[in-house]
Each structure stands twice: as structure tokens, then as C-alpha cells.
Chain A
Amino acid sequence: MSATERSGDAPGHTADDVADLIPMVRRIVYSRVGSHPSAEDLVQETLTRVLSAASTVEPGMLEPYAIVTARNVVSSLWRDIDRKNRNQHRLVDLSAPEPPEKQVVLEEEQSAMAAALARLDERERRALLDHEVDGADTHALAARHGTTAGAVAAQLNRTRARLRVEYLLAIEHVDPPTDRCRPVLIALSSGDQRRQREVQAAQHLLECEPCARLSQPLLERGQQRNDCLRIPVSSDADIVSARRAARELATRLAFGATDLTVIATAVSEVCRNIVRFAGSGEVVVELLEAPTRGIQIVARDGGPGITDVDRALGDGFSTYGGLGLGLPGVRRLMDEFAIASEPGHGTTVTMTKWEGTDHERPT
């Protein structure tokens, strides 16, 4: 069982969860291929794939995920190998957890990529290529387009989501059968669950075979990337974008209205510290699966740092505008709060809110 041990550190599903699926996977495979000599290999292959994706599969979805995977693994044996297999291979490449955005953009087959790029509008295409190929950072792009770095990053994410969809359609030679297909695929590709609900993505996947087929690599990618948001912060407007983005990400978990407001408010406070004291920095918002579900926010800057952290965390410490409530207040809002600061080298605040708990700090 070395394969199962490998995923012992998967945050979402444990190796035991996957082990529990073995009888079911075996049943699916054997009912299809009977006593074919490669049956056990197919079982192992399915389990390996499920394991490698286990950390990104949503709770409760591991079973359906395993079913679909088993089915795909089996069908790859049945089907003609030639074109199907070649594309299957590409799809797997595309969905492998390792390659980051850039590789997807730069390495995939050129003609499909060209076709996909052609379907973006001129502005989107320009921004994406400037960023991915010419290496322009979000600040530079923001300056060029008269907007903020946060807005550029969000736009780039949407463009990438569209590009992935167009690429898959092009390389699979699929002409979407309905006009709901593209919106659904893009919502899946971006991992935006609210949008997925709006376009009734789950329903559409049940009804539309091409989308069901194309959605698997998109889903794996989407979940991989979109549990985590990186937001550059350098202006007043970025503070608002950052707290909105954090709130939106947090709505994927079962946070109540108060917790969502608490999270948005805490993000607002730490972002303001970045803008006021360091000029610019970034906030990384990430959904956690372990030890329980929650949201973690890391705010970093390369600013002057805080000389006396303990004092900064005491109520009444005032650094700007007679305020002095920022950090101690934030510490009261969140379940976990840590600050690391080195004078001259910047400050990192790490804070977490767990779902469905209220570890209130005594004041």
C-alpha cells in the first residue's frame, strides 16, 4: 500500500479515504473488463490518479471522482488508441498538478493555442501575452491600462480561465453544442463556485456529454489554483479589492454572515497597514482543509518593519492617525494571529479563521 501512504499529507482526503474506495473501484473495473489480464493494473492506475488528486477534490466528492476516473481509465483500454489516446495524453498533461500557468500557456500545442488565443478579444490577448511572454508584472500592466494591480491580476485570471477552455475546445475539435456550454466551462475553469451555481454548471454537466468530458481537466486545475488567491496591494482601491476577494473566497466554506464580515474587515486592516507603512506588498488568501476547514490570510510587505511587535499588539499603540486599534483589533477578530517583523526588511502577518468555531480571545 505504498501508493496510499504517499498521500498521507493530503489536506482534504486522507489515504484512508482513498483506501476505502478500493472495493468500489475494483468492482467498477472488474464489471467492465472481467478477468482481463490488465484489470488489476487498471485498478491501481485509477487509485493512483485519485490519490494524486485527493487533496484538491472537494470533501464528499471523492467517491464520484473515483467513479469517473475509473470509468475513464477503463475506457482508455477499450477505445481505439490512435487519436483518442494522443489527446487523452495531452489532457492528462494539462491536468497534471505540476505545470503552472506559464507552462500551459507556453508549452501546449501551438495551433490549438493559436486558435484559442484568436478567440480572446484584443485587449485580453495583449495583457495576457505581455504578462506571460514579455514578463510585464501586474503593476506595470496596471499603470499601462490606468487601473490597479489587483484588478489586472483578477482580469488575467479570468482570461486564463477562458484561454484554457478555448484551448481544450480547439485541441479536442469540439464545437460546443449549446450556448450554455462556454459559460459553464469558463466558470469551471476559473473555479468560481458562485458563477458555477449561477450558470447551473452541475446540471449542465449531467446533460451535456462534451462538457462532461472536457470538464475533468478543468475541474482539477480550477480547484488546484483557485483555493488560493494572491492580491498585490499598493493603493486604497486595492484594499477594497483585497477584502472583497477574500470574502468571496470565504463564501465557498460554511462561514456565516458575521464571519464573512469579520474576515473582510481583518483583511482590510492588514492591507491598510501595508499601504500606509510599506507602500506596497501582497496578500495571499488561501482556503485550508486541515486540521479543519478555514481560511488563512498572509499579508506581506518589504517595508520598514515594526520595531516593537509586542507594543504594536497592545491596545492603544498608535502609529498613524491616533488609531492604534488595527493589529490588536484584528487579533481579536481572528482565531489565529501571528506577526513576524524585521526592522528594515518588512512585516508578515499570518492569520486564520476556522469554519464554524468561535475561539474567542479574552481581551
Chain B
Amino acid sequence: MEQAPEHDSAQSGPGGHLLSQLVAHLREHRTRLQEEWSQRIQQTHLLTAMTPQEMAAETTSVYDNYVEVLETGNVEALQHYAKDLSERIIPRGVETHEVVGIVLLLRDVLARSLFEKYQRDFSMLNEVLDAYEPAANRIANTVAVSFVDERERVIRQQQDAIRELSTPVLPVRERLLILPIIGVLDSERARQLTEQLLSGIRKHRAKVVVIDITGSPDVDESVANHLVQTVDASRLMGASVIITGLSPKIAQTLVTIGVDLSKMNTIGDLQGGLEEAERLLGYTVTRKEVSTSS
């Protein structure tokens, strides 16, 4: 990195030299700058979910990581720290703007101290800022990206958990799934139910599915429609569906939307449904034995 031309890039040789000067400056005034930064954070009411002790510990770590990135240009350690920090603070409701905010505050506190240090040498100030700013922006970006990634991951995880809770697909025995539907079934839940059931059929290689809707008092026409489509789609994947616990009200809705109930395998209660399922599975096995031994 020797061939750097006059005024071309802040990243070339002189920039590197300036950065190390800058890092020395930031190390030297660490206590004061960190204190100033903490005050700014408090003034702007960021990270109010954290105690002062936690705050002190985290700001120290962020500060040191920050200076380290400036020194080495390597964001890896900072990424790890940012991910780890995000993991700890996301469950406490810390928002993206707070995390980005505190990093930007640090950037500005440090920039100000550079102004103070070099204010009498304007061209030097320009050079220092040219070296500092790309690195500082990179750091802000790294932290923001890590936080947002982590947040999305947590949200996805929570959504998955909720989805599994609300529509559990239970493999009771080989080739047999039970899908108990409890509570009100709206369009969104119906859609999730379908996706879970169909992928469950493939995953467990199910041949028979019992959908028990005893726990669901009523459904509207669109959900009833969805239910019928789910039964048909299951068939396309080679699984038979038995519906148990059909209330007279839901049966009425199904008839209203034009479903031929005689073509649906409906059984009064779950117990009966399971017996029918066993019969279907057993029947399959018997026939198979007959045909292979003949």
C-alpha cells in the first residue's frame, strides 16, 4: 500500500497511519469518552430496559470492540459480540433504532473528540475524518445488520413455536396422524394447518389422517371450504382423511357450501375415528399379505 496518489482515497497508506494515531487517541481517552457516551445514551433515553450496571458493562465492551475494528479493520469479533448482545437484549424488548442509535452516538462522540483534537489543523482534520468515517460507518452497519438478523431469527423462531402450539400434528402410530383442532379456526390458522398437515403427511409417510374438530365450535364458510380443500389435497398425497367431532352446526355449514358429506369420511367421535383409522391401516396390511403370497 505505498502507491497511494495525492488525494485519492481515505483507505490508502496515509489513512492506515492516521487510523493508528486515532486508535491511540481513543485508547488514551477511553474513560472520559465512554463516560460522555453513556451520558448521551441516557439523555436520549435509549436502552432504558437495561440497568446502569448492565449498561456500563455493555458500553465498555462496545467501546473496546469499536476501537479494535478501527485498529484491525476486522469486523468479525464485533459481529460475534453484536450477535451475542442482540441475543441478550432482544427478549427484553430492545428495538433496532436503539441499538443503531447508541452506535451512532458513539460514532458522533468520537468524531467530536477528533474535531476538538484537530480543530486547529483543518487539512489534518479532513484527512482524519476521511480515514475515520468509512470505518465508523462500516461498524454501524455491522452492528445494525447483526442486530436485524438476530431479531428476524428470534421472530421466526417465536412464530414457529406459536404455530406448532396452535396446530399440533401428532404422529400417534406408524402411518397415522392426528390433528386436533382446538379453538377458533380463522383463515390464517387454517392456512397454517393445511401446510403443516401436508408436510406432516410427507414427513411421517402417513396413510391415514384423523382431523378432530371437537374442540372447534364453529367455522365460517371460507374456513369450511379450506377444510374440504385440505382433505382433497391430502388425498392427492396418498393419505385418507377421517373427520371426527363434526358438530351439527359445522355439518350444516359444509352442506351450505355444497359439500357432499357422503363423500367425506366423517365419524362421530375421536375414539371411533381412531378405530376406523386402524381398520383402514389394518385392511391395507391384510390385503398386501394376501396379494404377495398368492
A28 contacts B104, CB within 8 Å? yes
Complex Cα spacing A5 to B24, Å: 46
Residues of A within 8 Å of B108, CB to CB, are: 27-28, 31
Residues of B within 8 Å of A80, CB to CB, are: 7
A212 contacts B191, CB within 8 Å? no
Chain A nearest CB, measured from B280 CB (Å): 27
* B97 at the A interface (CB under 8 A): yes
Main secondary structure on B side of the interface with A: helix
Mask of A80-97 contacts with B, CB within 8 angstroms, 1/0: 100010000000000000
Complex Cα spacing A60 to B9, Å: 30
Interface size range on B against A:
35 or more
Chain A nearest CB, measured from B275 CB (Å): 32
Main secondary structure on A side of the interface with B: helix
Chain B nearest CB, measured from A18 CB (Å): 15
Q: Which of B9, B11, B100, B222 contacts A63 (CB 8 A)?
A: B100
A360 contacts B141, CB within 8 Å? no
* B145 at the A interface (CB under 8 A): yes
B137 contacts A68, CB within 8 Å? yes
* B112 at the A interface (CB under 8 A): yes
From residue 126 to 184 of chain B, which have CB atoms closer than 8 A to chain A?
A: 126, 129-130, 133-134, 137-138, 140-142, 144-145, 148
Interface size range on A against B:
20 to 34
Complex Cα spacing A202 to B142, Å: 9
* B75 at the A interface (CB under 8 A): yes
* B205 at the A interface (CB under 8 A): no
Query: 10 extra interchain contacts, Cβ-Cβ under 8 A, other than A78-B126, A206-B141, A357-B187?
Result: A27-B104, A27-B108, A28-B108, A31-B111, A60-B96, A67-B104, A78-B129, A79-B130, A360-B222, A363-B225
A-B contact pairs, 27 of them (CB 8 A): A24-B101, A24-B104, A28-B104, A28-B108, A31-B111, A34-B115, A60-B148, A63-B97, A63-B144, A64-B141, A68-B137, A75-B133, A78-B126, A78-B130, A205-B141, A206-B75, A206-B141, A206-B142, A207-B138, A209-B134, A210-B11, A258-B194, A358-B188, A358-B190, A359-B187, A360-B226, A362-B222
Q: Which residues of B contact A (CB under 8 A)?
A: 7, 9-11, 75, 96-97, 100-101, 104, 108, 111-112, 115, 126, 129-130, 133-134, 137-138, 140-142, 144-145, 148, 187-188, 190-191, 194-195, 221-222, 225-226, 257-258
Q: Which residues of A contact B (CB under 8 A)?
A: 24, 27-28, 31-32, 34, 60, 63-64, 67-68, 71, 75, 78-80, 84, 202, 205-207, 209-210, 212, 256-258, 357-360, 362-363
